[in-house]
Amino acid sequence: MKTAASPQLKDRSARLSDSVYETLLEAILSGGLAPGTIASEVALARQLGVSRTPVHDALRQLAKDGLVEQEANHRAVVTRFSRDGIRDTFEMRRLLEGEAARLAATRIDRPALARLRALADALTESPDDAHWVSRWVDFDDEFHQAIALAAGSPRLGQDIARYRVLHRGLNRLTTTAGVLRQALGEHYQILEALERRDAAAARNAMAAHVQEWEAYFVNQFPQGNP
């Protein structure tokens, strides 16, 4: 009889899939996996030293992000990286996460707000930490996840998580501590609106934050990318 995987095993599997996703995303952005390249699960699993499962999961997410295309014969083919794809992703994030912030403003509890403020303050107080960007990525994930959870809609939370996968990869690959300090300031604005229980201000601050980073990431790629 088949037994359910433990939560710890599922968590390790998800982290491995995310790591493979980020590795493949970097290869696509750098041109290491050029448009038209067949992304073979078997070959990639062998190259990365992992099983086919995390590669399969990563390719499925890349397909959702428009970075690979599943052909009729189930082959995954790398597509041309598109500025329009980034715009579409961030437009969906702006709508979804703006609504989540609006809902969370009256629902998030004080301990959750206190933890987010403590994490933000820790980043503010250690600007020269060599691991600052990595710590930022973890903070950014927790910040947005906490707001999505507090919104109280599992479906909304799932959609937000799906659209944030590409954002997390871009965060790791194309940002620096200098530009992320601006984002930290935007997080404080969202946090302050949540602390005031101001739903409209929380929605507007979140939407403005996502829009700023849509513009930033779009401009990281050459004009030749549509």
pLDDT tens string 114-137: 999 999 999 999 988 888 988 998
Q: What percent of the chain has pLDDT over 90?
A: 50
pTM of the entire predicted model: 0.77
Burial class (CB in 10 A: 0-12, 13-18, 19+), 21: buried
6 against 106, higher pLDDT: 106
pLDDT at 10: 58
Asked if residue 63 lies in contact with residue 76, where contact means CB atoms within 8 angstroms, the answer is yes
As given in the structure block, the two tokens for residue 66 are 């428009």
Asked if residue 146 lies in contact with residue 116, where contact means CB atoms within 8 angstroms, the answer is yes
pLDDT tens string 28-40: 877 788 888 999 9
Domain ranges of the chain: 7-78, 83-218
Whole-number mean pLDDT of the chain? 87
Q: Report the greatest alpha carbon distance in the chain.
A: 55
pLDDT at 48: 93
Whether residue 47 has pLDDT greater than 70: yes
pLDDT tens string 211-221: 999 999 888 77
Indicate the CATH number of 7-78 among 3.40.1350.10, 3.30.390.50, 1.10.10.10, 3.30.70.60: 1.10.10.10
Q: Select from 28, 205, 173, 25 the least CA-distant residue to 105.
A: 205
Sorting pLDDT into bands at 50, 70 and 90, what band is 3? Answer: very low
CA distance 60 to 42: 15
Residues 6+ away with beta carbon under 8 Å from 88: 66
As given in the structure block, the two tokens for residue 147 are 């707001």
pLDDT at 174: 78
pLDDT tens string 176-218: 888 888 899 999 999 999 999 999 999 999 999 999 999 998 8
Q: Which amino acid is at 59?
A: L
pLDDT tens string 150-160: 999 999 999 99
pLDDT at 162: 84
Sorting pLDDT into bands at 50, 70 and 90, what band is 2? Answer: very low
DSSP type of residue 118: H
Sorting pLDDT into bands at 50, 70 and 90, what band is 5? Answer: low
Which class is domain 83-218?
mainly alpha
As given in the structure block, the two tokens for residue 56 are 């399969």
